[in-house]
Amino acid sequence: MLALSSPSGPPNGMSARQSGIKYNNHTFSGVLFMNAAAYIRVSTDDQIEFSPASQLNQIHIYAENHQLLLLDSHIYMDEGISGRTAARRPAFLKMISAARETPRPFDVILVWKYSRFARSRQDSIFYKSLLRRECGIDVISITEPLSDDPTSILMEALLEAMDEYYSVNLGQEVRRGMQEKFKRGGVVSIPPFGYQVVEGHFIPDQAKAPYVSMIYQQFLAGSTCPEIARMLNTRGICTSRGNPFDSRAIRYILSNPFYIGILRRQTHPSSAHDHFYETVEMTYAQGTQPLLISPVLFEQVQIKLKNPAG
């Protein structure tokens, strides 16, 4: 573990550069300094004190105090992204790719906390090892200083374990809270076609709600799902996700009990996701949203879906 200390110059063993350059309102002339990168991550459940601006401000202060040159091109930021999986963090992967270039573009990576770098011990160990052994680049937490002795290995491992525990525990608490809200008929997902969310409640979307009843009526009258999809697309009507309709989207609407006041949700949200819920186990609850079709009409459509030739 590299420990940066005095502003008198970089530690032994680190590559140094000498130049006259104006950086962040300070002129470096004939002064040794190292290039640094900054990695900033904020997930959707972080508090305001973890904001990108707050993290970057603290990192800039640290860089100035330790004679580190932090260029804008070496600032990498992932916003609204969990730290559990590196594969889902494009800025993080871009930084790792840049670090492996020759010559290396920076000597250290600064993070506000190690949890910003990764909340998974597996990812943390893998990428820190890759950076240190292949690239000669260390990762430094500006708020969790570690000494340059063997005890730092234990301390860093403890911090990684605590970060992963926090992430896993938070995930469980969030899922538990969403499940309780779901049981009360609350909003835990984007609204289906024909609805919108206003002040935490599902209400009919006046522009799209009439099409729900029309879809059901057209299907009962003999129109196929592809035919109904083409009709909606011709009229410029999009799905709740803003996409053109296809037969699968129409079938999803025709089989969704939401329109008769019943909510459904994956029993195991962490399992493989199927947007149309055709291959996953579901849990049901009574909703509070206004009905867009009658239970009788819904049941008639379910019978026809199961027996299209009947």
Give which of 112, 34, 22 is closest to 66, Cα–Cα.
34
Q: Which of 185, 114, 123, 152 is nearest to 2 (CA)?
A: 152
Q: Is the predicted pLDDT of residue 3 greater than 80, yes or no?
A: no
Question: Quick one: which of 283, 285, 284, 303 has its CA closest to 295?
Answer: 303
- Domain ranges for the chain: 17-162, 185-306
pLDDT at 223: 95
Lowest mean pLDDT among 135-139, 161-165, 195-199: 161-165
Dist. CA 107–CA 136, nearest whole Å: 7
User: If you search the block for the tokens 């420990």, which residue do you land on?
Assistant: 3
* pLDDT of 18 above 60: no
Cα 83 to chain centroid distance, Å, stands at 8
CB 20 within 8 A of CB 29: yes
Domain at 185-306, CATH class: alpha beta
Q: Which residue has the higher pLDDT, 88 or 147?
A: 88
pLDDT at residue 272 greater than cutoff 60: no
- Higher pLDDT: 177 or 225? It is 225
Average pLDDT of the residues in 92-108: 94
Q: Quick one: the chain helix, strand, coil %, rounded to 5?
A: 40, 20, 40
**Within 13 A of 284's CA, how many CA atoms are on the CB side?**
7
Q: Which of 172, 177, 201 is nearest to 187 (CA)?
A: 201
Distance CA 211, CA 296 (A): 18
What is the pLDDT at residue 243? 93
172, burial (CB in 10 Å: exposed 0-12, middle 13-18, buried 19+): exposed
How far apart, in whole angstroms, are the C-alpha atoms of residue 189 and residue 194?
14
Q: Could you tell me how far CA 95 lies from the centroid of its own chain?
A: 18
Between 280 and 161, the higher pLDDT residue: 161
- pLDDT for residue 113 is more than 80: yes
pLDDT at residue number 174:
61
Sort 219 into a burial class: Cβ within 10 Å, 0-12 / 13-18 / 19+. buried
Supply the pLDDT for residue 100: 94
CATH architecture of the domain formed by 17-162: 3-Layer(aba) Sandwich (3.40)
CA-nearest of 200, 203, 201, 225 to 215 is 225
Q: DSSP character for 101?
A: S
The 10s digit of each residue's pLDDT in 178-234 is 667 666 666 567 888 999 989 888 899 999 999 999 999 999 999 999 999 999 999
What is the token pair recorded at 107?
A: 């000597």
DSSP 10: P
SS3 86: helix
Per-residue model confidence as pLDDT tens digits over 31-84: 457 899 999 998 755 554 478 888 999 999 999 999 999 999 999 999 877 656
